[in-house]
Amino acid sequence: MAHDLLADRTVLVTGGTGSFGRRFTEAVLTRHRVRKLIILSRDELKQSEMQQQFADHPALRFFLGDVRDRDRLLRAFQGVDVVIHAAALKQVPAAEYNPWESVRTNVLGAQNVIDAAIERGVRRVIALSSDKAANPINLYGATKLVSDKLFVAGNTYAALGETQFAVVRYGNVMGSRGSVVPLFRRLRSTGRIPVTDRRMTRFWITLEQAVDFVLRALTRMRGGEVFVPKLPSMRIVDLAEAIAPGCAIEDVGIRPGEKLHEMMITAEDSRKAIEFADHYVIQPAFSWWSDGLAVEHGGQAMPEGFVYASNTNDRWLTIDELRALLDDEPAAPPPRLPLLQNGHVAAL
């Protein structure tokens, strides 16, 4: 059996009551025998709901706090081995209207996580990024790009210690809060589906795939990488047809800060990008990183000018495939996890 990196470890998730955090919690508690899994978030109601969902699992801890508060992070990170940084303000229109609030959480909060992790001797930190961080045109994407740069450079500050930082960048998550899927489902009874632009394309990933990719990145990371999964693209009009077949599509115009197509690797990134079977790695441009590390593990350098964008992708989801994915998406939170006598949950 492969070595379990999380066995008998203490794991903390910032923003852990969000869509990713809940699915990550389910995966960790069913697949790994962690010592503790700490959920850090600002919302006491969501924490209470998670406690009920996971049947007061003995490995779970809940910590009220905000990544804006460095002192609170220092307390929360005491004795923690692994941190997954998922906390963010991510609604594009809200970020455009409230830029400083987004900077405080997404940028200053990222630096607080880095500082606290180094000071408390956390071994590994994975920060969740977004396709909007590549060639950003909106404030949210710009804050996530800065966050990515901070986490990569954090390995320089941690050089004398054991803390390693890496980033996972992926596309739109099906079923996450803010997804267009619930909106389309709600409006299909009206017979009209609003679409900002019929040409729009997006990368598409399920919550389960996102969690699995983050867990794999934890085992692969050396510190400094930006991990990018290979994902299929989808057309917004195909998604509308999959959810609301026969409904009229209403063009409403692109919102402030919205792109027609998303990108995860820019031409500039590609100079340091390595391709693997199921993912890419963007290597850091620092002297302490050896480009040979990725190549030695079966990676292949990307050609000059390579761009990984949703509209030029070679993998596309059909309407039937989208519909099948939507049918598999749970409509409600997963049931409470049963406890075993030893305090761990049974595998699903």
DSSP string, 222-259: -SS-EEEE---EEEHHHHHHHHSTTPEEEE--PPTT--
Q: Is the dihedral of CA 43, 45, 49, 55 positive or negative?
A: positive
Catalytic residue among 90, 132, 144, 272: 132
CB 92 within 8 A of CB 70: no
Measured CA to CA, the distance from residue 315 to residue 230 in angstroms comes to: 9
Active site residue 149: no
Q: Where are the beta strands (DSSP E) in the chain?
A: 10-14, 36-41, 60-64, 82-85, 124-128, 164-168, 172-174, 192-195, 201-206, 226-229, 233-235, 248-251, 263-265, 273-275, 279-282, 300-301, 308-309
Q: Where are the beta strands (DSSP E) in 113-186?
A: 124-128, 164-168, 172-174
Torsion sign, CA atoms 183, 189, 190, 195: positive
As annotated, the active-site residues are 132
